[in-house]
Chains A and B, each alone.
Chain A
Amino acid sequence: MTDQILTATTEKISESLAVVTAVGELDRGSTGILGGAVDATDAVRIVVDLSGVTFCDSAALNYLVQLHLRLTGQDGVLAVAGSQSFVLRTLRVTNLERLFPVHATVAQAVEALSS
């Protein structure tokens, strides 16, 4: 699972809103790369774009839950975008989509977080 390296980039949309885009396989070994990209921004409203993520294990899900709890503790919010992927199915099975919103596209997620 770890032969494909994950890339993660951060794009600031506004003072408090950022989009972090991950591409590749998100697992125990690569979740830190996503974490690094998230930590690179001081935004507290974060959209994590997982539409380019082809695999996502439970360690990655645990990271998203941690991030959600940290951001809500800072009056921020986490949204996940990329509903066409394997990831959404995993989020559905684990029921985590009840914890943080999951949007089909980054544009929808940004719009929801901007309103």
Chain B
Amino acid sequence: MTETGEAEWYAVLRKILNAAHLWQPGDLAERVDEALADVGLSATVWLIDYEQAALHALPRPGRETPAPLPVDASLAGRAFARVATMPGDGPRWWVPMVDGTDRMGVVEYRARGPAAAGDETFVRRCEMVSGLIGHLINTTSDRGDHLDRVRRSRPMSTASELLWQLLPPLTASCERAVISAVLQPCYEVGGDGFDYALDDDSAYLVILDAVGKGVPAGVACAVALAAIRASRRAGGGLVEQARAADAALIEQFPEVRFVTGVLAELRLDTGRLRYVNAGHPRPLLLRSGRLVKEMDAARRLPLGLDDPDVEVAEEALEPEDRLLLYTDGVTEARTPEGDQFGRDRLVDLVERNAAAGLPAPETLRRLSHAVLDHQGGPPDDDATLLMVQWSSAAARSAVPEGAQPTEEDESP
């Protein structure tokens, strides 16, 4: 395969792209595999499930679907977690599949015939094809239910279905920052939500926690999120965005239904952070792996309760700083004995994951699983985490190796 040239790989891309115009979601696995035959490879596409616990192979007609692979105990999972290609035996290659920096899963490439070793160029090309598949999964998914069904290990509640439709991808990055979020319990979300926007020199961040549970809480969160988004897209600042949420909630819920939240804007050129806290747990500022500040200012009433005394607070971030927003379902997660997860445990875990050099989305995945494990049962409340790291290096570590020089681990 190493002698396979640019032209053959170009043909692979062309075949996949051409097929994508009319394929149905269920065709994707077959078409990708066919296209790769020209370069002597076969491919299996694996998608991450909503709970980010296991990778699931896209089913193929007439073939047995391989069993799901746990992220925490497989080479495929390692490729997903580290956003880095892992060579396996066979020979085969587990290649991360992202859409931008949003982790969709992995692509497993196998040699069809007696194969040459996968050199650097070969691996880069596999990553390029994975990148295309990642984009196409995103654009294809909404044509049918097939791809989304693969990602579900069980049915989703109405409120969850509503919220997931509303949320942006879990991870988004630009050259100067990476934003990542995680939300549990993913199949039964009540009223938590988040939003962000990376435009020009600003990263806007929103985390929300609507009062109550189920569909009414989901609707309240949806109303607040949509009002904030509409205001922001019309050029509104943080105070206006919060007021827009107040007005929309008051109009929609005359009997009062409030939503706590933090609205923030981080300047990507200067590191200046501005924020408003509407009755929400205080954002955490982490520097060099340590908590340097719980940001206690700019407190107003929860969204949905008109508060004339809104103010905006400011904070100066330094390069590489992390800002962590969370809902109380994280810190108040309790063991059956009543032991709370707490802020200190949260900070400690961020510190340890930071020290391990993990990409931001992997840090958040591990945090949310730690919260679930702590409870040892179905959660009482939604637990959402939203983190931004003002760091070019962090942004790049969320991109597959092809786009960066790295000292990634050797394959086990």
Are these two chains actual partners, yes or no?
yes
A98 to B212, CA, bound (A): 21
Residues of A within 8 A of B300 (CB): 95
Known: A65-B256, A98-B301. A93 touches B280 (CB 8 A): yes
Contacts of A28 in B (CB 8 A): 212-213
The reply to whether B212 and A65 form a contact with Cβ atoms under 8 Å apart is no
| Contact (A65, B258) CB under 8 Å given A28-B212, A59-B211, A59-B212 | yes
Does A84 touch B at the CB level, under 8 Å?
no
B328 at the interface (CB under 8 A from A): yes
A95 near B299 (CB under 8 angstroms)? yes
**B279 proximity list for chain A (CB < 8 A):** 93-96
- Chain B positions within 8 Å of A99 at CB level: 301, 305
How many positions in chain A have a CB within 8 Å of any CB in the partner chain?
16
A62 to B305 alpha-carbon distance, docked (Å): 11
B302-315 toward A: CB 8 Å interface, digit per residue (1/0)?
Answer: 10010000000000
In the assembled complex, B240 has its CB within 8 A of some CB on chain A: no
Q: Within A36-95, which residues are at the interface with B (CB < 8 Å)?
A: 57-59, 61-62, 65-66, 69, 93-95
Tell me whether A107 is interfacial, beta carbon within 8 Å: no
B6 at the interface (CB under 8 A from A): no
Given the known interface contacts A93-B280, A99-B301, the answer about A58 and B212 at a Cβ–Cβ threshold of 8 Å is yes
A13 within 8 A of B: no
Size bracket of the B interface: 20 to 34
Q: Mark B232-276, 1 if CB is under 8 A from A, else 0.
A: 000000000000000000000001111010000000000000000
Report whether over half of chain B's contact residues are helix, strand or loop; otherwise say mixed. Answer: loop
Shortest Cβ distance from A64 into chain B, in angstroms? Answer: 10
CA–CA, A57 and B211, complex, Å: 8
- Is A62's CB under 8 angstroms from B281's CB? no
User: Nearest chain A CB to B382's CB is how many angstroms away?
Assistant: 11
> Is the beta-carbon distance between B281 and A96 smaller than 8 angstroms?
no
The reply to whether the CB of A5 lies closer than 8 angstroms to some CB of chain B is: no
Minimum distance in angstroms from A25 CB to a CB of chain B: 12
Known: A62-B211, A95-B279. A1 touches B380 (CB 8 A): yes
Rounded to whole angstroms, the CA-CA distance of A59 and B212 in the bound complex is 5
Give chain B residues whose Cβ lies under 8 Å from the Cβ of A95: 277-279, 299-302
Chain B residues within an 8 Å CB radius of A1: 380
CA distance A58 to B329 in the complex (A): 11
B256 touches A69 (CB 8 A): yes
Cα(A53)–Cα(B390), bound, Å: 42
| A94-B279, A96-B279 given; A61·B255 CB < 8 A | no
Bound complex: CA A95 to CA B278 (Å) = 8
CB distance from A74 to the nearest CB of B (A): 16
Contact A93 B305 (CB under 8 A): no
Whether B380 contacts A94 by the Cβ 8 Å rule is no
Q: What's the minimum C-beta distance from A80 to chain B, rounded to whole angstroms?
A: 15
Q: Which chain B positions have C-beta within 8 A of A94?
A: 260, 279-280, 302
Taking A66-B255, A93-B280, A96-B302 as given, write out 10 further A-B residue pairs in contact, using a Cβ cutoff of 8 Å, ordered by the A residue number. A58-B211, A59-B211, A59-B212, A62-B256, A65-B256, A65-B258, A66-B256, A94-B280, A95-B277, A96-B279
A-B contact pairs, 22 of them (CB 8 A): A28-B213, A58-B209, A58-B212, A58-B260, A61-B258, A62-B211, A62-B256, A65-B256, A66-B256, A69-B256, A93-B279, A93-B281, A93-B328, A94-B280, A95-B277, A95-B279, A95-B300, A95-B301, A95-B302, A96-B279, A98-B301, A99-B305
By a beta-carbon cutoff of 8 Å, the part of chain A in contact with chain B is 1, 28, 57-59, 61-62, 65-66, 69, 93-96, 98-99
Which 9 A-B pairs rank lowest in CB-CB distance, beginning with the nearest? A94-B279, A58-B211, A95-B279, A62-B211, A66-B256, A59-B212, A95-B299, A65-B256, A95-B301
